[in-house]
């Protein structure tokens, strides 16, 4: 999977979770950029990403990820 | 919405809850469905956000529109026991206490004495009893309480199960004490977290990652199973359970096609593996039938062949176990609707069971709201029906035990009716006796249940909780009447309910409903007479009646006109107001029922 493909799939996950087809995420997107992205939706979002890519985040990763770019780093390190 | 029917994809539900909720609300709006509003307080011993959100989805899915109060994290005890303005003014109908084994105050240590451990158990019980008693006293609400999931770790290994120091043994004792409280206190219902978590798989359910990260007592993807069970309890208490099963025969109650293979060659019994699976499914349906679920047949077969199968020596289900048997070559959806008509039930309160995907499709498409579980292989038919939550039993009454008898009596009445040429003569020969009285405590639960599940013969479709029923029954401003009808074929139980409030020389009828099982029996006339006589006793000059149309109550649109009322108002939505002056010329209307 290329980084572009991951980004595109990431868009779908965000659109599904936040029920907003207008959402497009970039490397620098953070929780501040999406109105409903609070701490509870973050839990949902992480599980949705895990389901979509068939991966599993560990506690450190979830606690330290700062933006969508870092999420994509973790995804890319786990998918072949 | 298929996504919310068992077997569902829990991960999909919990991650796309926002989208699902929007669609449900759109669907409710588009179909102009009327929802039952209800107030649910969720008091949690951990994070409950998604638990609450998923309860909302499952309730909306079955026509219940909840509003929520949610306690702050781990404030369940304080919220319940001490006064809290927000919760007090919320005034819940249901309080759901969502606790888990993380909320146990102290587990036994390996060195603790037996007396000390007894003390630990009784401390836990007192804590929860204090919660329940305080809630009952403040809100007269229904309480739904999780019991405890088994521990994730077993330091004593299998010894945990029987040693008094073991966590498994300790939690099992507390669960048993919870059950005893529920057995003796009406209004407390246990949500069986212990079973739900083991059914899911405790190892995945109790994934500690979610507790450490978010204080979720179970994995995020497990939450919909918990919420689903809570919603099923609420749904059942609000009268939204399914009432009947309509089942196919060939390859559903037995293996093979009886018309082609002959009765001697169908698969059923205790010999072959599939024979046993079919018999086990029959045994499961028989069990549901003894719990008050009405069984019916919808099969493409000649009638004689259908009966031959039921006479098979290994058939658990016999002809008399079914109320309506439709074995013919009509489309299944047509038969399904005919059965609904015979039973006087709404098609959406019946479950269709058929191994054939094409038949399931046609019923699902033709009859919106009919429940059609997706079935795979006979070994799993019972499990699918069982986990679909159609028949969650909350209040089990004598009425449920007798329901099949009542419906069989109805079938006898129908046959009896055919022997009369004059309908009045038939009614007289039924030797009906009615008891019509103000509400009595014995029947409050049944009355509340009727207000929530009667849709067709219901003038205003106002729903009442048990508590509201109790309040009006004690208020002298209100006239309350229940009607119970008996005849030569049996007792129909409480079948009609009327609530009216009085003031300014007027009596306004807030609620008037009747169970469809006694339609066209003159019972509505008997209720009318009782209302008029009560008004005369109170020296009230006029009765005001209201009709609010819904999708289901068209049969009573002109009910007040038939009773002699005059229409005084009508708005653009078809809501009508009716008036009857009470004077000497108002005559008794009931001709056929003896009032006792």
Statement: B2-237 belongs to CATH 3.40.50.1110: yes
pLDDT-derived band at B107 (thresholds 50, 70, 90) equals: very high
Contact criterion met (CB < 8 Å) for B50 and A16: no
pLDDT tens string B234-290: 999 988 999 999 999 999 999 999 999 999 999 999 889 999 999 999 999 999 999
A60 close contact with B: CB closer than 8 A: no
Residues of chain B with CATH 3.40.50.1110: 2-237
- Which of B16, B49, B209 lies nearest to residue A16, judging by beta carbons? B16
- Which of B16, B212, B220 lies nearest to residue A43, judging by beta carbons? B220
Chain A, 7 to 36: residues with Cβ < 8 Å from chain B are 16-19, 36
Please state, in angstroms and as integers, the Cα–Cα distance from residue B115 to each residue in B118, B174, B422, following that order: 5, 15, 76
Mutation site, A16, A41, A43, interface B, largest B CB count within 10 A: A43
Mean pLDDT in residue range B531-537:
94
Exposure string over B391-418, b if 16+ CB within 10 A, otherwise e: bbebeeeebeebbbebbbbbeebeeeee
Please state, in angstroms and as integers, the Cα–Cα distance from residue A21 to each residue in B17, B25, B441, following that order: 15, 18, 55
pLDDT tens string B451-482: 988 888 999 999 998 888 999 999 999 999 99
Q: How far is A3 from chain B (nearest CA, A)?
A: 23
- Report the topology of domain B426-595: Aminopeptidase (3.40.630)
Give residue A80's pLDDT: 67
Residues of chain B with CATH 3.40.630.30: 426-595
CB pairs under 8 A between A and B: 39
Mutation site, A42, A51, A52, A58, interface B, largest B CB count within 10 A: A51
> ipTM, 2 decimals?
0.94
3-state SS class at B450: helix
Give the strand pairing for B542-547 and B576-581: antiparallel
Residues of chain B with CATH 3.40.50.1000: 244-387
Domains of chain A: 3-78 (1.10.1200.10)
Closest-CA residue of B relative to A12 is: B16
Chain B, 3 to 42: residues with Cβ < 8 Å from chain A are 11, 14-19, 22
Q: How far is A22 from chain B (nearest CA, A)?
A: 14
Contact criterion met (CB < 8 Å) for B213 and A59: yes
Mean pLDDT in residue range B545-559:
92
Q: How far is B492 from chain A (nearest CA, A)?
A: 50
pLDDT tens string B360-374: 999 999 998 999 999
Q: Which CATH number fits domain B244-387: 3.40.50.1000, 3.40.50.1980, 3.20.20.70, 2.40.50.100?
A: 3.40.50.1000
In angstroms, the CA B202 to CA B218 distance is 9
Give residue B398's pLDDT: 65
pLDDT tens string B4-45: 999 999 999 999 999 999 999 999 998 877 888 999 999 999
Residue B397 reports pLDDT greater than 80:
no
Give residue B500's pLDDT: 97
Closest-CA residue of A relative to B50 is: A40
For B175-225, give the secondary structure using H, E and C: HHHHHHHHHHCCCEEEECHHHHHHHHCHHHHCCHHHHHHHCCCCCHHHHHH
- Per-residue pLDDT for chain A (80 aa), expressed as one digit of tens each? 899 999 999 999 999 999 999 999 999 999 999 999 999 999 999 999 999 999 999 999 998 899 999 999 999 999 86
Give residue B493's pLDDT: 87
């Amino acid at each position: 999977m290329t980084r572009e493909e991951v980004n595109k799939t990431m868009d779908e996950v965000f659109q599904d979770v936040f029920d907003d087809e207008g959402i497009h995420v970039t490397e620098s997107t953070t929780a501040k950029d999406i109105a409903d992205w609070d701490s509870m939706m973050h839990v949902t979002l992480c599980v949705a990403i895990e389901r979509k890519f068939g991966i599993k985040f560990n506690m450190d990763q979830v606690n330290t990820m700062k933006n969508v770019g870092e999420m994509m780093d973790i995804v890319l390190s786990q998918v072949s | 919405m298929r996504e919310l029917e068992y077997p569902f994809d829990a991960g999909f539900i919990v991650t796309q809850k926002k989208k699902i909720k929007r669609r449900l609300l759109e669907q409710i709006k588009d179909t102009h469905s009327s929802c039952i509003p209800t107030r649910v307080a969720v008091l949690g011993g951990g994070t409950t956000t998604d638990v609450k959100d998923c309860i909302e989805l499952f309730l909306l899915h079955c026509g219940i529109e909840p509003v929520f109060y949610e306690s702050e994290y781990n404030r369940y005890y304080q919220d319940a026991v001490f006064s809290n303005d927000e919760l007090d003014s919320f005034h819940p109908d249901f309080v759901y206490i969502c606790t888990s084994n993380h909320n146990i105050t102290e587990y036994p240590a390996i060195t603790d004495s037996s007396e000390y451990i007894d003390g630990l158990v009784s401390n836990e019980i007192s804590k929860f009893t204090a919660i329940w008693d305080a809630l009952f006293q403040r809100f007269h609400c229904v309480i739904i309480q999780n019991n405890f999931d088994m521990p994730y770790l077993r330091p004593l290994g299998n010894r945990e199960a029987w040693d008094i120091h073991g966590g498994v043994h300790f939690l099992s004792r507390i669960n048993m004490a919870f059950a005893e409280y529920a057995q003796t206190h009406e209004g407390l219902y246990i949500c069986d977290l212990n079973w739900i978590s083991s059914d899911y798989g405790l190892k995945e359910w109790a994934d500690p990652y979610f507790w450490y990260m978010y204080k979720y007592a179970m994995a995020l993807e497990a939450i919909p199973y918990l919420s689903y069970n809570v919603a099923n309890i609420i749904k059942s208490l609000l009268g939204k359970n399914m009432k009947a099963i309509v089942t196919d025969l060939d390859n559903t109650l037995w293996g093979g096609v009886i018309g082609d293979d002959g009765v001697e060659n169908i698969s059923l019994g205790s010999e072959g593996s599939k024979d046993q699976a079919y018999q086990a499914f029959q045994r499961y349906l028989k069990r549901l039938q003894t719990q008050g679920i009405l069984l019916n047949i919808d099969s493409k077969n000649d009638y004689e062949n259908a009966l031959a199968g039921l006479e098979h020596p290994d058939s658990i289900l016999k002809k008399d176990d079914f109320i309506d048997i439709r074995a013919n070559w009509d489309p299944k959806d047509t038969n399904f609707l005919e059965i609904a008509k015979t039973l006087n039930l709404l098609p959406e309160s019946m479950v269709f069971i058929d191994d054939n995907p094409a038949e399931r499709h046609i019923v699902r498409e033709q009859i919106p709201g009919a429940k059609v579980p997706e079935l795979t292989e006979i070994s799993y038919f019972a499990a699918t029906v069982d986990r679909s939550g159609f028949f969650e039993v909350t209040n089990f009454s004598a009425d449920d035990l007798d329901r099949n008898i009542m419906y069989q009596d109805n079938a006898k009445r129908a046959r009896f009716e055919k022997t009369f040429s004059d309908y009045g003569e038939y009614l007289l020969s039924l030797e009906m006796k009615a008891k019509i009285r103000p509400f009595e405590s014995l029947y409050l639960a049944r009355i509340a249940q009727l207000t929530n599940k009667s849709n067709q013969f219901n003038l205003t479709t106002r729903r009442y909780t048990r508590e509201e029923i109790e309040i009006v029954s004690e208020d002298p401003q209100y006239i309350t009447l229940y009607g119970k009808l008996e005849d030569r074929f049996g007792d129909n139980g409480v079948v009609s309910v009327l609530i009216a409030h009085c003031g300014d020389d007027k009596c306004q009828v807030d609620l008037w409903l009747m169970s469809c099982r006694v339609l066209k029996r003159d019972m509505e006339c008997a209720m009318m007479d009782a209302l008029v006589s009560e008004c005369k006793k109170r020296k009230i000059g006029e009765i005001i009646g209201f009709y609010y149309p819904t999708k289901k109550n068209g049969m009573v649109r002109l009910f007040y006109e038939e009773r002699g009322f005059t229409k005084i108002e009508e708005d653009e939505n078809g809501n009508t107001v009716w008036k009857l002056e009470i004077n000497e010329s108002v005559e008794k209307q009931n001709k056929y029922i003896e009032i006792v």
